[in-house]
Chain A
Amino acid sequence: MNAPIPNSFRNQPDAQGHFGQFGGRYVAETLMPLILDLEAEYRKAKADPAFQAEFDDLLEHYVGRPSPLYFAPRLTEELGGAQVWFKRDELNHTGAHKINNCIGQILLAIRMGKTRIIAETGAGQHGVATATVCARFGLPCVIFMGATDVARQAPNVFRMKLLGAEVVPVTAGAATLKDAMNEALRDWVANVHNTFYIIGTAAGPHPYPELVRDFQSVIGKEARAQMLSRVGRLPDLLVAAIGGGSNSIGLFHPFLDDPSVKMLGVEAAGHGLDQLHAASLAGGRPGVLHGNKTYLLQDEDGQILEGHSISAGLDYPGIGPEHAWLKENGRVEYTSVTDTEALDGFQLLCRTEGIIPALEPAHAIAAVKKIAPTMDKDAIILANLCGRGDKDIFSVAEHLGVEL
């Protein structure tokens, strides 16, 4: 915790898109004019009440917000410590928090006069959310997806196609999320004149980390107001899973200047931190990839390593730059849980609350399982249930040795 404590944790990034030493605009020259335009247009949109009104209207009537704040009585009882509450973003249209950001970005794309949408996807949730908003607004949509992920996420590939998207399997590298992102950037650079790239997480070149965070902050803003109205005080601890970090920054950001609220980000420790994993903060170091400086899994020469997690949504060797900054200044604590612990968390929530979570928030649940028993019974934990588990039942069955 060497960095000085700022007056506010909520006024990042700076004018150049830096969160401390992290973030920035590390892109090829071809993209620079475009991302400078995007930033200018985002500033205008942010100040435009009509833009905000349209965003809010779609979130309410199309996505189904606000999502409920839910007290989990049987899980709380079983863990025997702090009260456990969930922000129910798995109840959104398309089944995850990803849609919040896609609504915001497609409205920006339309403002900028772009007529073609591209996106990358790993597990397929962001691809489905992007294909959804493209169908809603009648724009052509191309989704880049690693060929490995295309094979293991067949239901989501079919969903995207039903929604009218073209799904392009990417065979480069390990053919997973990072390679899909490379390919999306290559497409973008070749089609800058008409194409808008909807990035799915709070990473990439400035202003993406900022605008994705802003669109996802609806999670934390709602949760803060709901908590105050339901129990009259703020929670003691926020918990959220982190791949790139969009659901967690969306929950955390509105609480960053509430000193009584502690925060815990949960990375994917895969097979364990000494083996294959996707915990960039725990096992990586700062570097530059996909347009931003942040913590990356890399070797001594700066070559990027493959991430591994049971959850395809957490399987990325980097993390959003604001998380890198929040780690360095100590405002947010970060931990990790293994595939096995996440599977336990997954089953725990199914059994105690009748909610099948996605494998991403199952990591948050696993962390809650460890920490809740160590806290007082009047303490409040608020965890983000950022996605539902329908998409994951096949891989969970496989890991549990069940043949479907």
Chain B
Amino acid sequence: MSRLSAAFAKGHPALVCFVTAGDPTPAATPAILDALVEGGADVIELGMPFTDPMADGPAIQRANLRSLAAGTKTADILQMATDFRARHPDVPLVLMGYANPMITRGPEWFAAAAAKAGVDGVICVDIPPEEDGELGPNLRAHGISPIRLATPPTDAARLPAVLEGSSGFLYYVSVAGITGKQSAALASIEEAVTRIKQTAQIPVAVGFGVRTPEQAGPIARVADGVVVGSALIDIIAEHGENAAGPVRELVTALANAVHNARKVEA
């Protein structure tokens, strides 16, 4: 069983945590990643900073710019992944980012480098299935899961195309919008996840706008996983190099809410 599949087969919903690589500095990231694991995150999403993060709200935009200002390079991110894999052999690591940094040396180069670094999945925000003729096949050839996004406008007719060739999990973006802004109503999330799971053979994790244990718990009752990003980014923005402790604290609370969500109900 792949690390990603195992993370969704623990008998409880999975907590997926996103941070931007190199925010606030490349040197600070390993301790933050460790804090995510120690707090109980089941899947780590490591954001690859980009100058033009078009799908992100102000919090993650600033994280991208802080990271780039600190001099983060693609080589640094791959090194962070390699080191993470050595420290945490069983925790799945997903790279998330925009197309240009991923394909700039060729999709085959990126897929090979990510595989060598022990990366389990890749989420590319701006390569929809229609343009995935190169990156997806190269990732699959290297045993990496291409993870796609589904959104409120992704209807039943389009969903199979989104799922085609993807694996690991499906990331359901619960609001039509950018990261960190508003939250979707629980009822609409439940309706969407139920609809998607009629077609999807892979776990469905829900993200965008999930900030607190109080929000994450109820979502975990209806989804296979919950993604939290901007709330962690806000802590890193506030605490900088000393963010690992406060990050661990929030992740512990989130993991408690997510992992026990269905027990609470039962």
Contacts and interface: CB of A to CB of B under 8 A. Distances in A.
Interface of A: 16, 24-30, 32-34, 172-173, 178-179, 182, 185-186, 189-190, 192-193, 287-291, 296, 298, 300-304
Contacts of A289: 52, 100
A185 B51 CA distance: 15
Contact of B128 (A32, A186, A300, A304): A32
Contacts of A25: 128, 130-131
Contacts of B131: 24-26
A178 B127 CA distance: 19
A79 B73 CA distance: 50
B259 to A, nearest CB: 28
Interface residues of B, number: 44
A186 B57 CA distance: 8
B116 to A, nearest CB: 17
Interface stretch (B28-36, B136-144, B147-155, B183-191): B147-155
B246 interface: no
Given A28-B55, A287-B103, A289-B52, A189 B128 contact: no
A288 B101 CA distance: 9
Interface string B61-72: 100010010000
Nearest to B153: A33
For the complex of A and B, the 5 pairs showing the least CB-CB separation, nearest first, are A302-B104, A190-B177, A302-B101, A302-B100, A288-B99
Given A186-B57, A186-B178, A303 B130 contact: no
B158 A33 contact: yes
Contact of A172 (B61, B98, B152): B61
B54 interface: yes
A173 B56 CA distance: 13
A173 B51 contact: yes
A28 B57 contact: no
Nearest to A184: B54
Nearest to A174: B51
B103 A189 contact: no
Contacts of A29: 128, 148-151, 154, 162, 173
Given A26-B99, A26-B128, A189-B55, 9 more contacts: A25-B128, A29-B162, A190-B181, A193-B176, A289-B100, A290-B52, A296-B100, A303-B51, A303-B68
21 contacts: A25-B128, A27-B128, A29-B151, A29-B173, A30-B55, A33-B153, A33-B158, A179-B52, A182-B52, A185-B55, A189-B55, A192-B153, A193-B176, A287-B104, A289-B52, A290-B52, A291-B126, A302-B101, A302-B103, A303-B100, A303-B101
A50 to B, nearest CB: 29
